[in-house]
Amino acid sequence: MNKKNVILIFSDLDGSILDRETFKFDQIKNYILELISKQIILIPNSSKTEKEILNFNKQLGLDLPFISENGAVINGLNLINQNFPNKIILSRDLAELNKIFNSIVPERLNEKCFFISDMTKKDQIKTFGLKKNNLRNALDRKYTIPFLFKGNEIEKNKLIKILKSNSLSIQEGGRVINLGDNTNKVKSMKQVLKIYKKIEKNIKVIGVGDNLNDLDMLRNSDIPCLVFNDQFKQDQINIDNLIVSNKPSPEGWADVIKKALAKLNYNV
């Protein structure tokens, strides 16, 4: 592959780059820095909040553009090109989302939704697996509302249908469900690509994820990559040319990226 081609990596964080339990990525930090030094553009695309991803950037030691809260906000594209916008908000705010949710969801379903913001600090820590400042950053949401659903699959599907018909959505991650606007990771990714293609037509997209809410992003990538996750059956995922690691994060992330770059004849 000609190195004049631009490679963009859109990647989930939890369970993809970050260890699912410790949220660390020390083992692959140098590899990530090497990729970026070769002008490969990494754009975290995560359910995490702006503060959480800024903390990831701080640990990495670089300012990366990123997409936060399941596609609700695109941050820092001006870091790629000074003529690009610094922030693009694709979602309505929490107050409006809450208002709509409470007006359209029947009580019998609403009472099966246990919102993280209403939990005790002890239960919040247990749910997120985070403590102190990290928990505070995870709860600092402006466009998505995390909750647990205690109903059955039929009831959950009814809830999804009601929300979808009213231009809301829920995204299922590894630990919680997030109520959000009619946004998602793939819509925000496409928005970034639309902007980027104004200055560069020859782009190859590598998409990396590990969970259900990443699959549409992978389907819309040139090279889709799935990091090992034992919480759902990967062999039931129907995505053409999917690269799957046999290692969990963070090593699994480096594994799939190396294979994806090899497909593009790009060696780092």
Cα 183 to Cα 54, 119, 140, 179: the distances in Å are 21, 26, 18, 10
pLDDT averaged over every residue in the chain: 92
HEC string for 178-243: EEEECCCHHHHHHHHHHHHCCCCCCEEEEEEECCHHHHHHHHCCCEEEECCCCCCCHHHCCCCCCE
Is the predicted pLDDT of residue 96 greater than 90, yes or no?
A: yes
Fold matches, 6-89+184-263 and 94-181: no
| Residue pLDDT, tens place only, 199-221 | 999 999 999 999 888 999 999 99
**CATH number listed for the domain at residues 6-89+184-263:** 3.40.50.1000
Determine which of 34-48, 72-86, 102-116, 167-181 has the lowest per-residue pLDDT on average. 167-181
Cα 15 to Cα 75, 100, 124, 260, 261: the distances in Å are 22, 31, 19, 18, 21
Local confidence band at 2 (pLDDT 50, 70, 90 cut-offs) = very low
Class of domain 94-181: alpha beta
Euclidean distance between the first and the last CA atom of the chain, given in angstroms as a whole number: 12
Q: Are 147 and 113 in contact (CB under 8 A)?
A: yes
| Residue pLDDT, tens place only, 27-74 | 999 999 999 999 999 999 999 999 999 999 999 999 999 999 999 999
pTM of the model: 0.91
CA distance 5 to 268: 14
Cα 232 to Cα 155, 171, 211, 229: the distances in Å are 20, 15, 8, 7
Per-residue model confidence (pLDDT) at position 214: 93
Q: Are 138 and 126 in contact (CB under 8 A)?
A: no
- So where are the chain's domains? 6-89+184-263, 94-181
Cα 58 to Cα 54, 63, 147: the distances in Å are 6, 8, 28
